[in-house]
Homo-oligomer: A and B are copies of this chain.
Amino acid sequence: MNPERLLSSIRVVLCRPSHPGNIGAAARAMKTMGLSELYLVAPKHFPAAEADARAAGADDLLRRAVVVEALDAALAGCVFALALSARRRDLGPPSALPRESVARLLAEAEQGPVALVFGNETTGLDNDEVSRCQALTAIPADPAFSSLNLGSAVQLLCYECRMTAFAGQQPADWTATPSASPLATAEENEALLAHLQTVMTATGFYNPAQPGRLLPRLRRLFNRARLERSEINILRGILAATEKGTGHGRGNDK
């Protein structure tokens, strides 16, 4: 299945959300990552103006959201459900980190609809809800302060879904910025160093009789910078302007 279709087959199920703002934030988070199927189990307030406001452009997901009374109805037709829970459960399903859990979720999604299940902001999922899911995942938060905002938790899981679905394929947009101009050749780099050496000698900063480590250090710096041709031209322009000022100018250098 192609990544877009795979992502659009994942349901996000929010169980008993208290704050409509979080429903809107979840919709926005989903949409940024290419997910679109939102299910709400017994939301306290929905629809709500605050949900629309926080959706910030993802209100189409809110309008299409499926509102049900119990988790069973939200999971109808699903072949696999992954529950987010900070707590381990007696007799609960095994828990894993989001990255590996999501890899499984996407593998299962090849077989049919799957669900990512989130609990109430304060109380999380109850044991009955967790028992409807085949796997648990926990976000590796600081044990001293582990309470993520619901919208942030949805964002994070949806992000892992998208990263896994595209499997490291970097859309063309993010490949490294091409150089603004071609890289300088070895000779051009050498000519710059020679020019710099001339200026440094003329100003007395460099004494060829006692060279020390100055030239090797400058060479190391320029090698690391991987200069472009146009940058060499700028640097040599600066040097040439300096030479005119000191009266050491070499007429043909500009």
Among A38-46, A71-79, A156-164, A186-194, the stretch that binds chain B is A156-164
User: Is there a chain B Cβ closer than 8 Å to A225's Cβ?
Assistant: yes
User: Is there a chain B Cβ closer than 8 Å to A16's Cβ?
Assistant: no
Q: With A147-B32, A225-B224 as given contacts, are A245 and B180 in contact (CB-CB < 8 Å)? A: no
Interface positions of A from 145 to 177, Cβ below 8 Å from B: 145-149, 151-152, 155-156, 159, 162-163, 166, 170-171, 173-174, 176-177
A250 shortest CB reach to chain B, Å: 15
* Partner of A93 from B94, B141, B177, B196 at Cβ < 8 Å: B177
Count A interface residues, CB 8 Å: 74
* Partner of A242 from B57, B149, B203, B234 at Cβ < 8 Å: B203
Tell me if A140 and B242 are in contact (CB < 8 A): no
* A95 vs B178: C-alpha distance when bound (angstroms): 10
Give the chain B neighbours of A221 by CB distance below 8 A. Answer: 225, 227, 231
Tell me if B58 and A145 are in contact (CB < 8 A): yes
User: Is there a chain B Cβ closer than 8 Å to A96's Cβ?
Assistant: yes
Tell me if A238 and B148 are in contact (CB < 8 A): no
Q: With A142-B34, A162-B140 as given contacts, are A96 and B176 in contact (CB-CB < 8 Å)? A: yes
Tell me if B200 and A149 are in contact (CB < 8 A): no
Among A23-31, A62-70, A106-114, the stretch that binds chain B is A23-31
Tell me if B95 and A177 are in contact (CB < 8 A): yes
Tell me if B140 and A171 are in contact (CB < 8 A): yes
Tell me if B56 and A149 are in contact (CB < 8 A): yes
User: Is there a chain B Cβ closer than 8 Å to A103's Cβ?
Assistant: no
* A205 vs B156: C-alpha distance when bound (angstroms): 49
Interface positions of A from 120 to 154, Cβ below 8 Å from B: 138-143, 145-149, 151-152
Q: Which residues of A contact B (CB under 8 A)?
A: 25, 28-29, 31-34, 54, 56-58, 88-97, 99, 138-143, 145-149, 151-152, 155-156, 159, 162-163, 166, 170-171, 173-174, 176-177, 180, 196, 199-200, 202-205, 214, 217-218, 221, 224-227, 230-231, 234, 237-238, 241-242, 244-246, 248
A-B contact pairs, 19 of them (CB 8 A): A88-B173, A94-B177, A95-B174, A95-B176, A140-B162, A140-B170, A141-B162, A180-B217, A202-B245, A203-B241, A205-B237, A205-B238, A205-B242, A217-B231, A221-B227, A224-B225, A242-B245, A245-B246, A246-B246
